[in-house]
Amino acid sequence: MPLVLLGILIALPILDIYATLRVAEALNVPGILLFAPGVIFGIVVMKRETRTLRSQFAGALQTMAVQGLVFDSGRRMLAAVLLLSPGFVSDLFAVFLLLVPNRAMPQPAVAAAQTGAKTVDGEFRRVE
């Protein structure tokens, strides 16, 4: 099983590069013109997402609303890695991942106000 996974990890980038070179040949452009924009855009997305993740993670830990942040950030980081890998097909998958809408992370006070929930502060004692 590990050899199959290793074969897939080696074969997919090679097939992606081959497909990119065939598309470049069909378009009569140099292959580097299809590789370069994806790598440049991948670097930009990776830098931006790393900065955004650092700033949002502390606030998300305080409100314990980490799930949406982790899902959105992980999706964008995966898209950045796919953009950095050479190939046209991986770039198309990355663009698809970037086009998926983000999950909304409701703020606790805003969510409570929208649902009409009221909180009461106090102590309780169980009576049996």
Segment 6-17, tens digit of pLDDT: 888 888 888 888
What beta strand segments (E) does 42-120 contain?
none
The answer, as to whether pTM is greater than 0.75, is no
The per-residue pLDDT for range 95-106, each reduced to its tens digit, is 898 898 876 554
Asked if the structure places residue 15 within a domain, the reply is: yes
Does residue 115 form part of some domain?
no
State the Cα–Cα distance between residues 55 and 53, nearest whole angstrom: 6
Residue 46 has pLDDT above 60, yes or no: yes
In a domain, 94, yes or no: yes
Provide the residue type at 99 as one letter. L
Asked if 57 and 105 touch (Cβ cutoff 8 Å), the reply is no
- In the chain, how many domains are there? 1
Which residue range is the domain that position 61 belongs to?
A: 2-107
- Token digits for 20? 């990119």
| Residue 120, domain member (yes or no) | no
In a domain, 10, yes or no: yes
pLDDT for the residue numbered 128? 76
Q: Which of 39, 4, 45 is nearest to 20 (CA)?
A: 39
Residue 117 lies in a domain: no
Give the integer Cα–Cα distance in Å for 92 and 77.
15
Decide if 99 is inside a domain: yes
Asked whether residue 87 is assigned to any structural domain, the reply reads yes
